[in-house]
């Protein structure tokens, strides 16, 4: 339930705090890093509080976030929202995030079925590779890019590479923030049902636990960072500007 997520959030916050402690003792640590860590910690608190405050409402409970562990320099923020239920008590007081569309996305219109959707804010250190920071371990295929009204940077639309092969409906949007080009807002939708190994045979990884419920809750193993070294480059606008400038 939410319980797990609260624990997860708090654990992350603790890790960030520990990192911050280390950084504070380290003279070569940049101030920016420290601020990012503080931001991370605050986010953890905020998320935990929202989870605890909203425990009454709308369970869109199924969220399996891959377990990230102590990646430094990233802020992630996630919160789940049920598209259809609007809670009077708004959990997020996020200036960064605008409201999402209350309607469901590309997924087939499910009556009453809430499609899981959660957001995550990622802040990238200047010296960090974008792809590495933004990569969540899944392979995404870009299928569109749009200029958004108030946004300085275009929004990228990605879907799981294995959508066709395995009917994995996971989707994400990546949007660079106006203010800080190192902060990305990413919105995830749907759960990954794919298993990386299917494309290339060699799949020793666990067979799915006996028929898990198809519709709402799909718990599937986190993709232990299989292709972090992939040459795939996220073509966000900044990178594009660089590459495109060349003759």
Partner DNA sequence: CTAATTTGACCGTG
Partner DNA sequence: CACGGTCAAATTAG
Q: With respect to DNA, which residue has the nearer C-beta, 145 or 225?
A: 145
CB of 16 to DNA, least distance (A): 30
Spatial CB neighbours of 91, under 8 Å, sequence gap ≥ 6 = 50, 53, 54, 79
> What gap in Å lies between CA 13 and CA 107, rounded to an integer?
33
Query: Which residue stretches of the chain are H helix?
Result: 2-25, 31-53, 130-134, 163-166, 237-245
CB of 40 to DNA, least distance (A): 26
Q: With respect to DNA, which residue has the nearer C-beta, 12 or 236?
A: 236
φ/ψ of 133, rounded to 5, equals -75, -35
CB of 45 to DNA, least distance (A): 28
Q: With respect to DNA, which residue has the nearer C-beta, 23 or 155?
A: 155
User: Positive or negative, the Cα torsion across 176, 185, 131, 193?
Assistant: negative
Note the residues at the interface with DNA (CB under 7 A): 100-103, 105-106, 109, 140-146, 148-150, 155, 157, 161, 171, 173, 231-233, 235, 240, 243-244
CB of 154 to DNA, least distance (A): 8
Q: What is the DSSP letter of 142?
A: E
CB of 8 to DNA, least distance (A): 27
CB of 1 to DNA, least distance (A): 28
Q: With respect to DNA, which residue has the nearer C-beta, 103 or 211?
A: 103
Spatial CB neighbours of 27, under 8 Å, sequence gap ≥ 6 = none
In contact, 129 and 99? CB cutoff 8 Å: no
Q: With respect to DNA, which residue has the nearer C-beta, 101 or 127?
A: 101
**What's the full length of the chain, in residues?**
247
Spatial CB neighbours of 9, under 8 Å, sequence gap ≥ 6 = 44, 47, 48, 51
């Amino acid at each position: 339930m939410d319980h797990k997520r609260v624990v997860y959030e708090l654990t992350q916050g603790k890790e960030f705090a520990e990192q911050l402690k280390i950084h504070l003792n380290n003279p070569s640590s940049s101030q920016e890093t420290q601020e990012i860590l503080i931001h991370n910690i605050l986010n953890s608190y905020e998320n935990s509080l929202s989870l605890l405050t909203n425990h009454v409402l709308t369970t869109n409970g199924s969220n399996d976030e891959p377990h990230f562990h102590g990646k430094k320099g990233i802020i992630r923020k996630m919160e789940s929202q049920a598209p259809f239920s609007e809670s009077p008590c708004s959990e997020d007081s996020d200036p960064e995030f605008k409201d999402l569309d209350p309607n469901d996305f590309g997924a087939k219109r499910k009556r009453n079925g809430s499609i899981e959707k959660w957001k995550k804010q990622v802040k990238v250190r200047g010296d960090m590779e974008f792809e590495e920071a933004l990569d969540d371990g899944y392979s995404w295929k870009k299928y569109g890019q749009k200029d958004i009204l108030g946004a300085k940077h275009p929004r990228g639309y990605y879907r799981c590479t294995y959508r066709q092969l395995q009917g994995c409906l996971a989707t994400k949007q990546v949007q660079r923030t106006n203010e800080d080009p190192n902060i990305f807002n990413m919105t995830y939708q749907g759960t990954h049902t794919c298993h990386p190994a299917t494309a290339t045979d060699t799949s020793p990884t666990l067979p799915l636990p006996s028929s898990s419920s198809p519709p709402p809750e799909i718990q599937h193993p986190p993709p232990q960072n299989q292709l972090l070294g992939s040459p795939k480059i996220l073509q966000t606008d900044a990178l594009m500007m660089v590459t495109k400038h060349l003759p």
